[in-house]
Amino acid sequence: MSELSFRPVHATAMIGRCVRLSRRNIDALLTSLLLPVLLMLLFVYLFGGAIQTGTEYVTYVVPGVLLLCAGFGAAGTAVSVTTDMTNGMIERLRTMDVGATSIIGGHVLASVARNAVSTVLVLGVAVAIGFRPAVEPLRWLAAGGVLLLFLLGVSWLSAAFGLLARTPEAASGYTFLVIFLPYPSSAFVPVETMPSWLRGFAEHQPVTPVIESLRALLLGTPVGAAPLRATLWFLALLAVGMLLSAAFFRHRTT
């Protein structure tokens, strides 16, 4: 299956390309950087006063905002993959024997790079408005790792949507799911406040263990099994995303 063939030089060239294209797409870049910050301010100042979480609301909400960021980033991935599919670029790359892994990997890693920037921005603004994380480098590193895994998983899954979509607009529509998923979780309100049927979903959906891990790791509270569950979830999602991408790639391009 040459779709899965992989050469490091292909991957580095594709990553370089996607990062450069991201940097130059000013509108999309500004949106993906500013929207999460605005959403955080919205949650903290507009809704935060009415939500009881037992801590400062900004402290509670930061992990959720980081995941929203990741969702926007992933949506961008789907759109750029569809753009490649519709403008003939994928075909040129295929006749050059560049595999799906490199083509999609380039988009996914560019998404990770975009998100690294927006994450730092969100954390900076959060600290400015009262977020006080625990100062433990190892835990920060672990939090970064969990976030990275989440990003890789949702971005690769979005890339699969991008391969399936016929237009960039449709691709962006597909990613609604990824963007919406943090809401029915413990990201913005404690799950105890939800009706029982929703609570059952919120407690067992993939975003919740990521939120719990980030919250515990950043605030220095006991982490329990959350990071393990988050890791398992997103290794699984990454695998599904990669397999679906390879399958759709074959299907759409032969």
Partner 1 sequence: MPEPPAVELVDLRKSFGDVVVLDGLSLRVPMGGVHALLGPNGAGKTTTVRILATLTRPDAGSVRVAGHDVLRERRRVRRTISLAGQHAALDDEQTGAENLTMLARLTGLSRPAARERAATLLERFDLTAAAGRRVRTYSGGMRRRLDLAASLVGTPSVIFLDEPTTGLDLRSRQGLWEMIGELARAGVTVLLTTQYLEEADRLAERIAVLHGGRLAAEGSAADLKRRYGAQRLELTWADTAGYAVAAARLGDRVIHQEPARRELAVATDGSAPHVRHLLDEVDPDRHGVVRFTVREATLDDVFLTLTSAATRPDPEVAGV
Name the residue among 21, 38, 106 with its Cα closest to residue 72.
38
The span of 17-25, 58-66, 195-203, 221-229 binding partner 1 (CB under 8 A) equals 17-25
User: How far apart are the C-alpha atoms of 11 and 100, rounded to whole Å?
Assistant: 10
21 near partner 1, rule: CB under 8 A: yes
Give the chain's radius of gyration (CA, Å): 18
Angle (deg, nearest 10), helices 137-164 and 57-86: 40
Integer CA distances (angstroms), 182 to 80, 81, 88, 159, 203, in order:
23, 23, 34, 19, 12
- CB nearer partner 1, residue 9 or residue 138: 9
The span of 20-28, 49-57, 161-169, 226-234 binding partner 1 (CB under 8 A) equals 20-28
- CB nearer partner 1, residue 91 or residue 169: 91
Interface size with partner 1, residues (CB under 8 A) = 25
Q: Please give the residues from 22 up to 61 whose contact with partner 1 meets the rule CB under 8 A.
A: 24-25
User: How far apart are the C-alpha atoms of 62 and 124, rounded to whole Å?
Assistant: 11
CB of 165 to partner 1, least distance (A): 18
Q: Please give the residues from 67 up to 126 whose contact with partner 1 meets the rule CB under 8 A.
A: 87-89, 91-98
Q: Tokens 């990454």 sit at which residue?
A: 238
Task: Name the site residues for partner 1 (rule: CB under 8 A).
Answer: 2, 7, 9-10, 12-13, 16-17, 20-21, 24-25, 87-89, 91-98, 253-254
